[in-house]
Amino acid sequence: MGAHTRQPPPRRAIDGVLLLDKPSGMTSNAALQSARRLLDARKAGHAGTLDPLASGLLPLTFGEATKFTQMLLDAGKVYEAGVRLGIETDSGDAEGKVLATRPVAVDEAGLRRTLARFTGEIEQIPPMYSALKRNGKPLYEYARAGIEIERAPRRVTISELSLLAFAGERFVIRVACGKGAYIRTLAMDIGAALGCGAHLDALRRTRAGTFDLSASVTLEKLETLPPAQRDTLLAPVDTLVAAFPRLDLDAAAARQILQGQPLRRSGENPGDRVRLYGPDGFLGLGQWKEDERLWPKRLVCTEQT
C-alpha cells in the first residue's frame, strides 16, 4: 500500500541565529518548530524557554549555532512583567488556580521600597510549575498531580528592578536578571512582602545577552517573506560568542586548532575563552589552560583540513 509514498526531501543544513518574537499562548518548542519549517532547517534549537503565557525574544539557533546555545542560556536577560496584587495562584501566574484573594492597600512609595529589597543578590525557591527535574521528572508534572516537592533556595542576581507603571492593584516592572531567576517567583515574593499576595499576569522578554527584541521578527512576518529572504534574517553563528575577545590565526595555526591540537601562547589567564578566526572565517571557541597553551573548546565544522 505504501509502495508509492514519496519521501519528503531532506531539510537544509543552514547555520545562524534567528531572533524570534514569540507570541503569548504558544510554547517555545511550537514556535521553534514553526520557524524551522519555514526555514526548512535540518537542525534547530532555542536558547532559553519562555512559558506559553510569556511573549518576546526567543533566540533560535540553527545548524552549527546550536553548539553555542549554552552561551545564551547562561547570559543575562531583561523582562517587562505585569504583576497583579491581591490574588495568589498555585502556579504563580495568571494560568494557575486561584488559591487566595486578599485586600490590597499598597501605595507607590511602599511598592518602591519593597522593590528595592529585591534588587541585587537574592534567594529564590524555584516554583513547582517549572521544568527543573527531580528523579528524571519535571517539577510541573508533580505539581499537576498535586504533589509538592521540597526545593532548596537558590541565589540569583536581580541587577535592575524598575517600576514602569502602577495602578493600585497592578503594576509593571522591568527586570534585568542573571541565570536561574524566576520572574513568577519574584512576583509571588513581592506580593508576600507586601502582605497581599500577587501573581504574574504578563511577561515579555526584551533582551537576552547581547540580543535585543527590537531586532526580532514575528512568525507572521516570517511567513509572508519569500524563502530566500527568510535566510537573510539569520545572524552569523559567531554573534553568540561576541562577548569573548577575538583572536585571528594564520592558516597553519588554524589548521592546528581544527585538528584538535593546542597552540603555545603565553601571558593569558587560564580558563579565559576567545573567539577563533582563520583566513576563511570563524572557527569556534578556544580556551587557555594552565599549561600556557590555547586549546580548542568548541569548533564549527569547516571545509578546512
Q: Are 275 and 241 in contact (CB under 8 A)?
A: yes
Residue 281 falls in which region: left (phi positive, over 0), alpha (psi -120 to 50) or beta: left
Which amino acid, residue 45? G
User: Cell digits for 18?
Assistant: 534567528
Q: Given the DSSP bridges, would you call strands 211-212 and 198-208 parallel, antiparallel or unpaired?
A: antiparallel
Rounded to whole angstroms, how far apart are CA atoms 136 and 243?
Answer: 33
Rounded to whole angstroms, how far apart are CA atoms 176 and 118?
Answer: 12
DSSP designation for 5:
P
Set 21, 51, 201, 238: catalytic member: 51
Question: Dmax over Cα atoms in the chain, in whole Å?
Answer: 73
93 is catalytic: no
User: Which residues are designated catalytic?
Assistant: 51
